[in-house]
Structure 1
Amino acid sequence: MTPGEELAEYLGARPGGLDGTKLVPMLCEREEAGSKVLGREGWLFELKLDGVRIIADKKGDRVTLSYRKRRDATDSYAEIADAVRTLADTRLVLDGEIVAFDEQGRPDFQRLGHRIQAGLGKRGGRAPASVPVVYVVFDVLAIGPYDVRAFPIEARKEILTRVIPAEGVAGGLVRRHPTFDDGAQLFRLCREHRLEGVVAKKLGSSYRAGERSLDWLKIKAELDAEFVVIGWTEGESDRARLGALDLGAYEGDRLVFRGRVGSGLDASTIDMLLERLLPIEVDKPVAEGKYSPKPKRHHCLPELVVSVRYGGFSVDPSGARFLRFPVFRGVRPDVSPKDCTAAPDDGVALVTSTNDEQDGEERTAPAAKATSAPSSVAGDRPARARRIHVTAPSSVLLHDGTTKDVLCTYFEAVAPALLRHARERVCSLLRPAGAALWPPPKWTPKFVRTTNIRAGKREERGFVVDSLDVLLFAVEAGCPSIQHGPFVEDRPDVADFVAVRVSVARDRAEKSEVAAAARSVRALAAEIGLPSAPVSAGASAVDVVVGVGAAPAQAAAPLGALLAQLAMNAGVASHVKLEAVSSVTTPFAPCPARAGEPVVVAIPLDWDELDRVELASIGLAAAVARAPGAARSDSLDAVRDARVDVAAATKALERGVAARAT
């Protein structure tokens, strides 16, 4: 008898013939209920895994893996079945998730999606192990002759420690999921590291197969849900065959249109989707609701389920509600279409999809109020149409798959925060790789102003970004990024900041090294009375923006170079690069990035969060979350309002350089 069987027998387990291949797992209740228990006693907490739920049934040397809906998954994850077979117990039923991890060790469902696609494409036999996966086990339901589902969760967890050792088995292919006592602290960690969320499990609770119970509660740090595909639209250029998927969800027996998703679809995913969608294409819509008007729309039977990350729901002037900032994550063969029930009434705030002409202000309201009175969401400002017609909205503008339409919606959400930094500046509109748009296109609308000023010996030319419509013009012109220098339009001989960029190659990037170098620049600036603030500038780069008041442009110019030189001499790691830069990415605009690099948004940071934040994770969704507060104030306010004697500060730095040289 194995140690696990001995403990089950000692605790009074009863014999029972549990068949794991016919078992539907226990499910969590909605996350809005779960947030109340994070700080309470009487619960244990686990990281919510961003993977595929799997029941493993082991009978001697025979191992069967089953999805949530009891469909066989053994051949799709054959190496996991082989690893479970090595466990000492001859009879087991385990519950857990199969997970793929990214380079930082975080669960990555999009990466797992490639493995799922490989499994869907096979015709019998084992699926190729193209993406490494791990089976993370959090419950044991049967061991030896005993059915232990009636045991309290603490007892089942203790039995599990005797089944799977702390180091796992088969080189870590099968691991035991750890538990935590402090749910609030665990949830904060999820926020900081962009993990999916927390699962709270009530102490003393039994395992209730097939039920969604309040004894298990999920609290998500990011919004994601499953939707059923109800059609697709054709796109432009390389997305001509499939530009976006139409998505639906069930309200009781009614299937309702919820929006479209185009971001996150690459060529291989489109091939896989069309292979599955074309055979189920039909002539007429299968869902209720107001579809967004799109030419070349195809409809299909509601059979294919996909996972989508999103930023809430939008309400248009007619009251129709659609997903905001949706990103495709993968196909969910383990989820039934009828289980797709995501709705704006699930405690998620609704946001108007149109904005005030001058400041693009975003209005929010509780979902229940917006459902009954959509006009209240927009406040007392009349909704208006965009002044820019965005052509080919499904065409990809950022190399991560972000489309023009998604980027327009993003700018509508963050416009108040972005415009407070861009107004009156001379801005450059940049294409994805960083090339500036100049001269303006012939079709440039009259409301888009350009300017040409002389700052000292330099000529500055660019655009005046003073409204949401100019941001939408930038998208239509193929320019997702915006940069500005330290000059304003009506004071070309005055600079109000200098900037030092701290960067390191991503393959050698250490968060602590970037933060330490940035703090060296901050300390030097503070010595001579200059305020500073860090701004994300890429996946492994930070701009330290230093306030110089209203300094003559020629006097301010050398200051950034002196700060960079002194910081380099202060013991910064040799592979960390510091350089003075003449312009910075405008806060809340995406930073220029090469193919293969994460799309990072420039965000003003606080110094105390610089050690914690993952720069590569500051994408569009993270920026939207920060935008409401940043529309009023952020860490750059002190830099912008600085009152300093820049000539005296420069001389002090020059003396510092000379002193260190001797």
Structure 2
Amino acid sequence: MAELGTYLDKRDFGQTPEPSEAGHPSGVGLRYSIQNHRATRLHWDLRLEWEGVLLSWAITRGPSFDPSEKRLAVRTEDHPLSYLGFEGEIPEGNYGAGTVMLWDIGWWQPLDPVARGLKKGHLHLRLHGRRMTGDWNLILMKGRKSGDDKRQNWLMIKGDDEAAGQRDPVARYKRSVSTGRTFAEIKSEAAPKTPALTGKLPRLAKPQLATLVEDLADPGAYWHELKLDGYRAMVALGKGGPRVYTRSGLDWTDKFSSLVPAFEDVSCDAALIDGEIVAGAGMQGFSALQDAIKAGGPFSFVAFDLLSLAGTDLTDKPLTERRKALEKLMKPVPPMGALQVSPVIEGDPAETFGMVCESGGEGLIAKRRDGHYRTGRGKDWLKIKCRRRAEFVIVGWQPSSSRARPFASLALAAHEGDKLTYVGKVGTGFDEAKMDEIATRMKPLARKSATVEAPASETAGVRWLSPSLVAEIDYAEITAQGRLRHAVFLDLREDKPAREVRVEREVAMSDDAEKIAGIAVSSADRVIFDKSKLTKGDVARYYEAIAPAMLEETADRPLSLLRLPEGLEGERFFQKHPGKGFPDALKIVEITEKDGDAEPYAYVTDAAGLVGAVQMGTIEFHIWGARRDRLDRPDRLVFDLDPDEGLKFAEVKSAAFDLRDRLADLGLESWAMLSGGKGIHVVVPLRRTVGWDTAKLFCRGVASLIAEAEPMRFLSEMSKAKRKNKIFIDWLRNERGSTAIAPFSLRARPGAGVAMPIAWDALGGVRKANATSTKQALEHGWQGVDRPAPQTLGASVTEALERAFAALNDHD
């Protein structure tokens, strides 16, 4: 205890109640506390467990949640671990005489190496206390030491995070975090004050369970949350509570006793909260949770549903209402603390799912927004896993040829119907200590006969067990023969009895989903366009029906998809690069970007591809000007006539005719398309003889020629300020990677207009650019539209453009 020499030398343990023993490390997380010390001067003592002692600082004015506040923290002597929870009166005449209140307690997490931080004078840490949460910095004030050379002056500064900006903790917390006593009550040795809930403790409910599915759910009908890696738990608050129950109804309050006090911050008489207990203080994974259970913490509780509140049953309320009630209930709880609310992933979940999987996470849970809370497994809650993981019953073990290993592998099974079904073996994932533990627990379960039917060729030499132990297993898939492939042992599970372990197979996201072009379209009855009453199913059926016409121009081109996963009123975004979770019907082509990196792009070849994109929330399809077999050679030019808001559509039509005639003068024929918005596209089919630079330069030249000829009508610069009463000839769509709306694509605007090809002789009779409905598009298709054969952008065309510019200059 040489490192505690200063602490011991300063105290007479016959006089002070302070602990003299060293204490024991937690073995899992790093503990932390703050003691409010009313001595000669009131201050707050920060204690951080590190290498067998408590690193200590005296914060003279107490901590602040304001990141702009810098609070002086004087480094003091290291304290023993046993001091962590000390509270009491230090008598007069002793070092530090005065009253010590345990003001906060919990766990802490280094965000940078501690040894380096102490040496350099900057500790970056995260606190997981009852009161102090989030990121903090301890920074040494260089050259500013107190009279004692060993006492260093540091600054304690709050990080700018979700926990920043809370109410001043010094003013807010005046009582002990452990006993509820004031300074005066501690000094007088009054009995601890335990807050008592008065409401009736809610009856435990069986949990709602999620069905394993293949794909992400429709985000308009469902929201997504992270799938957590812990123990499902119901927490009952009320008289005699809190009580913590496992998914199967076991009372595990004692196992999670260090978490229970955190529920004192939840202000209510009674409640039943559904959630998940995970390893806390930055610890990750199911194995970390097992270690935390053995060590008594750290834990965190992530709440995701509220079943009852103050005696009122909420299970018949839609999820959205239950969520609002939960958020209101949990509002007083410190952010980034031991109690949290599961974040909802609004909008498109595909990107989040990809990031979760890349970082080694579990996956996502999809929950129907209007769903009621229903016990048991159903399709209002769905789970989409990055990797397969499930519980299996250990029914036997295979002896090992190595004396160092008590067994070679474990035989596994799960219930299908009324009987146990053999699913194979697991022989990896064990460390020495875990193998010894499993061997000890298997010994009293030995039996002579098997409890499952299994081929003798697979189970020769297996020593059978009564089906009691449950293991958590990671695996690649269940084969057609019903065997686990690439199984890895994770840990034993105590919260789920063997009789409840069942074989779980992925199912289609919704067996009752409407099949359109062979694609299961979820929430097909959800209205996308209110005015025209078009549902998601209507949109999918439209694209299935229009596919033969649409694919003539759209097939095999890289796409940008305008996705509105929550409908017209929700978030919208363009997506060029499809990620994990996209349907197989959307095909992928790798394209090298300007920076040299290859990125995936989607393309379609059939109706299933179009409908698959709709299932992911796509409304608009935007296409490249080249096909995937010759990405360096455009096969179409597009001039987008984009009018100022004040212009009438008649002027846009007139401009389209003028542009058609100007192109014809240059030797190029074109066809027209109503954009479905407010403009017109003029399209020139090309033979694939020139590259993007040539195409772009030519289109810029055409736009400039027209704008210079009639500057009061047109402009060729993308300038909102100069567009007043003019039409912008957008030629920028003719460069590599740029896109234009696909023919027959719906537009994500009220009215559900379609980008509709139109015959030149019919254009004059059209009243607006978004005049075409899906029904009209299906009736007319390409009817009457004379699409010219592909033309060459050769010398005769460029020379004609040069002559036109010369004539314009001569006229000037």
From the CA coordinates, give the structure whose radius of gyration is larger.
Answer: 2
Q: TM-score, normalised by structure 2?
A: 0.36
Q: Which has the higher contact order (CA 8 A, sep 6+)?
A: 1
Q: TM-score, normalised by structure 1?
A: 0.44
Which has a greater percent of helix? 1
